[in-house]
Amino acid sequence: MDELRRVRVRFAPSPTGPLHIGGVRTALYNYLFAKKYHGDFILRIEDTDQNRLVKGAEQYIIDSLKWVGIEPNEGAGFGDGEFAPYRQSDRKGSYRQYAEQLIANGHAYYAFDSEEELEQLKVANSNAKYDASNRLALKNSLSLAVEELETMQRNNVPYVIRIKVPEAAEITFYDEIRGNITVNTKEMDDKVLLKSDGMPTYHLANVCDDFLMKISHVIRGEEWLPSAPLHVLLYRCLGWESMMPKFAHLPLLLKPDGNGKLSKRDGDRLGFPVFPLQWTDPLTGDMSKGYKQEGYLPEAVINFLAFLGWNPGGTKEIFSLDELVEAFTIDRISHGGAKFDFEKAKWFNSEYIKQLDTPVLAAMVKPQIEERFGPKKDAFLIAACGLIKERMVFVSDMANHYAYLFENPKTYAEINTSKIKSIKEILNISALVHTVNNITTFTSLEIENEFKNFAATNNIKPGELMKFIRVSLVSELSGPSIPELIQVLGKATVVERLNNCYHQIP
RNA sequence: GGCCCGUUCGGCUAUCGGUUAGGCCGCCAGGUUUUCAUCCUGGAAAGAGGGGUUCAACUCCCCUACGGGCUACCA
């Protein structure tokens, strides 16, 4: 019966800031799994901590998923299905009854301990936790007399609802990636289920919503592994064990250097984005880079992310989203954490740029180019893209590193001009200009031949001539093939640059 | 500290008891290119350590070391 269950998975981020790239990977694996089995992929916003909410974070999550192209078919920002609402704050009223149900069945209790009293616990023993060993000595509905409870209630003393963890029992559950995991309940504590503000904690809300939304598989980060036994216990105490989802805890994304979880700091430190989209902190105004703005293609980011912690076997590495869906299986997810590899991310991006149809690339590049260099004809942009497509790593490279396609060089660096000094001394610039002007068919072959002839008749080494022309055109000693570049720039521009260079350099 | 999870080249990984331990990124060398990039060819580079189990262990078990996560009325 279990095998026939409809696949329904969810991505359940907390809107406490911009969605981390690791979160994108978690969403991706959920998406791939859902699509592979023709199931549902749901976005649920876990905003039960009202103190940590960050303005704009929820929209950022939605925008990010849209940008990378892994859209939920149900959930916040993506259309309500029959399980709406999908924001836990909007579901607030639904959780209390389950907490009360647990109390009625002897699986939970009210606790009135103040913050200070809880701190006292730790003072006596730093390892102390609220559990079977001491719950009777603390202020809760298990330890207090009925009259005392009534007084508390009358005085509106704030309280929480805590789970009553069994004293010493083994809880075993199966993780789809790691296999059986067993924890003894004596290691667990009586976690708060319902906070004093009436909001559920993650644990209660998560279990209730997954049950209510008929989630079949919980695919989430490894940081949740330690609390999974608590969730299993909740399913049991709530009488939902037969509907309990399967669990898969994903390996973490680690820092590129050293160890530890990848963090925002690493991005700042290493100059690489760790967020899908650019993000400006509403409070501090601090800006963090985004993959999109840095010139990454969403398909490349997806492909790269998919392979950080998962591998289909075989040697093929460039996978479209559809191909990933086809190839994806949970059992091929790795167990250990994966260090973030920026170089590999760049490689994926350059591969995807090379795969792009040139007119498509031209259209992508157009806004940045025109913002910087003014209006350009599409045909020209396409020609320019064709010229440098295979040397681009980022979409933004064109505007950032190939300005010479759009405007004449303004200065010539000394290291470059020093290399063409000798040729300049013997060069007849007007003859060269004349040669360029006389080129008729303007094919790259003809252009190349004309320069060779010019070099021969003027007794110049062809390589030296080319160096001069190259510096004239791009102000550097490297770049695309000169005949092709000349085709793109056109005669007039070439002549202008040749003259400029000849007269400007010493 | 306690609990849980993990550990193959510098990085991502393949291998599901028998392989010259393979691929990709990066790196190095050579070729192509008048240059650079692309592209092509080649190269260096790994099973954390110690015990078992087995005819045979990277693969299974145990210990140690190391790394990570969790240990909130945060998720």
Q: For A333, which DSSP code?
A: B
Give, in Å, how far the C1' of B53 lies from the CA of A83: 53
Residue A3 has pLDDT above 80, yes or no: no
Environment class of residue A209 by beta-carbon count within 10 Å: exposed (0-12), middle (13-18) or buried (19+)?
buried
What does pTM read for this prediction?
A: 0.95
Arithmetic mean of pLDDT, A68-73 = 97
Q: Please, which pLDDT band fits residue A426 given cuts at 50, 70 and 90?
A: confident
| Nucleic acid strand B within 7 Å of A501 CB | no
| Nucleic acid strand B within 7 Å of A289 CB | no
| Contact partners, residue A10, CB within 8 Å, separation at least 6 | A30, A41, A42, A43, A44, A75, A210, A213, A215, A218
Query: What phi and psi, each to the nearest 5 degrees, are found at residue A372?
Result: -90, -40
Distance CA A185, CA A172 (A): 10
Strand B contact residues in chain A (372-391), C-beta within 7 Å? 390-391
Mean pLDDT check: name the lowest of A80-84, A280-284, A305-309: A80-84
| Nucleic acid strand B within 7 Å of A422 CB | no
| Nucleic acid strand B within 7 Å of A125 CB | no
pLDDT above 70 covers a percentage of chain A that reads: 99
**What pLDDT, in 10s, does the model give residues A261-302?**
888 888 888 889 999 999 999 999 999 999 999 999 999 999
Mean pLDDT check: name the lowest of A146-150, A319-323, A436-440: A436-440
Residue A506 has pLDDT above 80, yes or no: no
Residue A4 has pLDDT above 80, yes or no: no
∠ CA A218-A224-A226, nearest 5°, is 125
Protein residue with the closest CA to the C1' atom of nucleotide B12: A308
Cα-only R_g, chain A: 32
Residue A37 has pLDDT above 90, yes or no: yes
The larger pLDDT score, comparing residue A384 to residue A119, is at: A384
Q: Please, which pLDDT band fits residue A254 given cuts at 50, 70 and 90?
A: very high
Residue A1 has pLDDT above 60, yes or no: no
Alpha carbon A240 to chain centroid distance? 34
ipTM (interface pTM) = 0.96
| Nucleic acid strand B within 7 Å of A50 CB | no
- 3-class SS string, A391-437: HCCCCCHHHHHCHHHCCCCCCCCHHHHHHHHHHHHHCCHHHHHHHHH
**In b/e form, how buried is each residue of A263-273, taking b as 16+ CB within 10 angstroms?**
ebebbeeeebb
| Nucleic acid strand B within 7 Å of A260 CB | yes
Bridge partners, residue A170, by sequence: A184
Residue A25 has pLDDT above 50, yes or no: yes
Q: Give chain A's mean pLDDT.
A: 94
Arithmetic mean of pLDDT, A229-234 = 98
Distance CA A158, CA A130 (A): 18
- 3-class SS string, A335-392: CCCEECCHHHHHHHHHHHHHHCCHHHHHHHHHHHHHHHHCCCCHHHHHHHHHHHHHHC
Contact A58, A76 (CB under 8 A): yes
User: Do β-strands A253-254 and A192-194 pair in parallel, antiparallel, or remain unpaired?
Assistant: unpaired
Distance CA A506, CA A502 (A): 8
Query: Hey, is A290 helix, strand or coil?
Result: strand
Distance (Å) of CA A457 to CA A452, A453, A463: 9, 6, 14
Contact A95, A234 (CB under 8 A): no
The larger pLDDT score, comparing residue A261 to residue A359, is at: A359
Environment class of residue A494 by beta-carbon count within 10 Å: exposed (0-12), middle (13-18) or buried (19+)?
buried
Residue A2 has pLDDT above 70, yes or no: no
Contact A332, A311 (CB under 8 A): yes
* Termini Cα distance of chain A: 84
Query: Hey, is A489 helix, strand or coil?
Result: helix
**What pLDDT, in 10s, does the model give residues A132-185?**
999 999 999 999 999 999 999 999 999 999 999 999 899 999 999 999 999 999
Continuous segment of H or E residues that includes residue A172: strand A170-175
- 3-class SS string, A302-329: HHHHHCCCECCCCCCCCCCHHHHHHHCC
What is the nearest nucleotide to A310, using C1' and CA?
A: B13
Could you tell me the two tokens for A344? Answer: 């590999």
Distance CA A165, CA A136 (A): 13
What is the nearest nucleotide to A14, using C1' and CA?
A: B75
Shortest CA distance to A385 belongs to which of A408, A352, A354, A350? A354
Arithmetic mean of pLDDT, A251-267 = 87
- 3-class SS string, A202-228: HHHHHHHHHHHCCCCEEEEEHHHHHHH
The larger pLDDT score, comparing residue A245 to residue A264, is at: A245
**In b/e form, how buried is each residue of A77-86, taking b as 16+ CB within 10 angstroms?**
bbeeeebeeb
Would residue A264 show up in a list of annotated catalytic residues for this protein? yes
Environment class of residue A315 by beta-carbon count within 10 Å: exposed (0-12), middle (13-18) or buried (19+)?
exposed
Q: What is the pLDDT of residue A417?
A: 81
